[in-house]
């Protein structure tokens, strides 16, 4: 994977958190920058790199299309025997990389003559000293939604006004008032999941808030969104981060750009993609199938899987459901569900090419965990959502889907077969036209934003100018 890099153009080091949603969106940015002829070093942990190589056949061939893009790896300093993977225990990797990766980063900055770092903002101040030491630009990329990023910044004020902490289960429907840009919109249950911790256990929330504030020490901030989606929130964020680039939806930005370039696109699956499901989808009627996936991280309890399964069956809508191998403890359960689902009712698979599935004409709705990438992918395809958030930004994303953008329903904190059945029927039958109309309008705005003259298109060129003008 070693390439010789000429020194005439900026060399950007991109370092994502070792998790699917983070690698996906930061790799899209890497590819967009590579198309603009910038040198890119994309840094993954060895563990993630191995998965990329294992499940994405064409990586090597694609690297040849981009002579100025290279992959490098770094250890994650975790115990190999009890490796937490990239699931809910991702915090372990963030902590160990924060503690031990600096010397490796320094070595890469020197050997590759890096002139700009795009760091996953989840690492907080990890590269701030290094950027100062070498006099290079540091840009933070936050892969979460802008509404969540803004909520983290508002946490100190909420504590000051006694709106936080949340005082137990009975407090969950209390309305949050002191959050500029989203006054009276959120209930306690809609705040990012880390706010749910009780008084004594605020360590994780404090850490998340601190790392969010540390983005102020970077020279610029990138968010994966577009102006028409998040304008009131972006105005608030800009008061603190004037150098804010909004480039999203990044996957669509890349797809649109590639239509005018000859390059192909990197896939970044951490699991083997099931291709047969596309054949099954081809045989289904227009907008008749509900796609169900809870992302790369969400674990599920047996009872939850069973409630959702019955809800889907009772809805009488065909479904395509992704149940990852690492999603359930009870190994036999997956087989039981598969055996109990015949192809007239639905299909259960372990991983799909989600962008491809969502853009298939047979898909009529998406039952999702409201991860930010999944939300944007659904927005671009004009697919209405039913949201069942699990953690992090998902609780607030699902509130925005239902109450701000009005492109779906929020099933938060409930997992009941009757509710699943009713919501599927509301989105796909009773209120179908209403949801399809608003989802289509939002999809059009997303497409406009990444087309020539659109907000994300322009912002990307401003970013390129910033990187070029400040690189040594």
Task: Assign residue 461 a region (left: φ > 0; alpha: ψ between -120 and 50; beta: otherwise).
Answer: alpha
**Residue 312, φ and ψ in degrees, nearest 5:** -65, -45
* Nearest distance from C-beta of residue 337 to ligand UDX, angstroms: 16
* Nearest distance from C-beta of residue 452 to ligand UDX, angstroms: 25
Helix (H) or strand (E) holding 445: helix 432-450
Of 11 and 142, nearer to ligand UDX (C-beta) is 142
201 belongs to the catalytic site: no
Give, rounded to a whole angstrom, the gap between the first and last alpha carbons of the chain. 25
Active-site hit among 11, 22, 39, 253: 22
Of 245 and 390, nearer to ligand UDX (C-beta) is 390
8 A C-beta contact, residue 31 and residue 42: no
Which residues in 339-367 are b (16+ Cβ under 10 Å) and which e? eebeeeebbbbbbbebbebbebebbbbbb
HSE-CB for 36 with a 13 A CA cutoff: 22
Sequence-distant (6+) residues with CB within 8 A of 49 are 71, 73
Of 181 and 295, nearer to ligand UDX (C-beta) is 295
Helix (H) or strand (E) holding 138: strand 137-142
* Nearest distance from C-beta of residue 410 to ligand UDX, angstroms: 15
Number of other residues whose CB lies within 10 A of the CB of residue 336: 14
Cross-strand bridge partners of residue 386: 367, 409
* Nearest distance from C-beta of residue 348 to ligand UDX, angstroms: 12
8 A C-beta contact, residue 249 and residue 445: no
* Nearest distance from C-beta of residue 358 to ligand UDX, angstroms: 8
Of 392 and 423, nearer to ligand UDX (C-beta) is 392
Of 5 and 277, nearer to ligand UDX (C-beta) is 277
Residue 29 to residue 229: CA distance in whole angstroms: 19
Residue nearest to ligand UDX (CB): 371
* Nearest distance from C-beta of residue 93 to ligand UDX, angstroms: 13
22 belongs to the catalytic site: yes
Of 293 and 471, nearer to ligand UDX (C-beta) is 293
Site residues (CB under 6 A) for ligand UDX? 19-22, 24, 143-144, 269, 293, 295-297, 322, 351-355, 371-374, 377, 392-394
8 A C-beta contact, residue 424 and residue 410: no
Q: What angle do CA 361, 367, 373 make, to 5 degrees?
A: 85
Active-site hit among 120, 190, 274, 393: 120
Task: List the catalytic residues.
Answer: 22, 120
């Amino acid at each position: 994977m070693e390439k010789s890099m000429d020194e005439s153009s900026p060399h950007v080091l991109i370092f994502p958190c070792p998790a699917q949603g983070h690698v996906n969106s930061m790799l899209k940015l890497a590819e967009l920058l590579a198309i603009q002829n910038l040198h890119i070093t994309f840094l993954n942990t060895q563990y993630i790199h191995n998965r990329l190589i294992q499940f994405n056949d064409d990586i090597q061939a694609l690297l040849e299309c981009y002579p100025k893009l290279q992959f490098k790896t770094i250890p994650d300093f975790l115990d190999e025997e009890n490796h937490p993977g990239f699931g809910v225990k991702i915090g372990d990797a963030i902590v160990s990389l924060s503690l031990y990766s600096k010397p490796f980063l320094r070595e890469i900055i020197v050997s590759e003559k890096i002139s700009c770092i795009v760091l996953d903002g989840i690492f907080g101040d990890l590269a701030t000293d290094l950027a100062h030491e070498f006099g290079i630009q540091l840009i933070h990329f936050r892969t979460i939604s802008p509404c969540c990023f803004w909520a983290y910044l508002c946490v100190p004020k909420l504590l000051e006004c006694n709106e936080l902490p949340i005082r137990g289960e009975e407090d969950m429907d209390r309305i949050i008032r002191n959050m500029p840009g989203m006054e009276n919109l959120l209930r306690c249950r809609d705040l990012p999941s880390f706010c749910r911790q009780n008084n004594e256990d605020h360590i994780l929330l404090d850490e998340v808030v601190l790392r969010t504030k540390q983005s102020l020490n970077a020279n610029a901030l990138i968010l994966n969104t577009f102006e028409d989606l998040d304008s009131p929130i972006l105005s608030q964020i800009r008061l603190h981060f004037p150098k804010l680039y909004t480039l999203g939806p990044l996957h669509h930005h890349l797809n649109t750009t590639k239509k005018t370039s000859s390059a192909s696109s990197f896939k970044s699956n951490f699991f083997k993609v099931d291709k047969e499901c596309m054949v099954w989808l081809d045989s289904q009627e227009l907008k008749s199938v509900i796609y169900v996936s809870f992302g790369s991280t969400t674990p599920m309890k047996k009872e939850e899987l069973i409630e959702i399964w019955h809800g889907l069956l009772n809805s009488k809508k065909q479904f395509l459901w992704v149940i990852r191998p690492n999603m359930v403890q009870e190994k036999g359960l997956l087989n039981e569900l598969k055996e109990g689902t015949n192809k007239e009712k639905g299909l259960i698979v372990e991983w799909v090419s989600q962008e491809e599935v969502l853009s298939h004409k047979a898909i009529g709705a998406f039952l999702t965990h409201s991860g930010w990438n999944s939300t944007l992918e659904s927005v671009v395809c004009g697919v209405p959502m039913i949201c069942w958030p699990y953690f992090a930004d998902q609780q607030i994303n699902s509130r925005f889907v239902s109450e701000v953008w009005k492109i779906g329903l929020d099933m938060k904190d409930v997992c009941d077969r009757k509710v699943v059945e009713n919501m599927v029927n509301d989105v796909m039958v009773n209120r179908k036209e209403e949801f399809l109309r608003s989802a289509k309008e939002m999809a059009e705005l997303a497409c406009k934003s990444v087309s020539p003259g659109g907000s994300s298109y322009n912002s990307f060129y401003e970013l390129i100018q910033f990187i070029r003008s400040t690189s040594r």
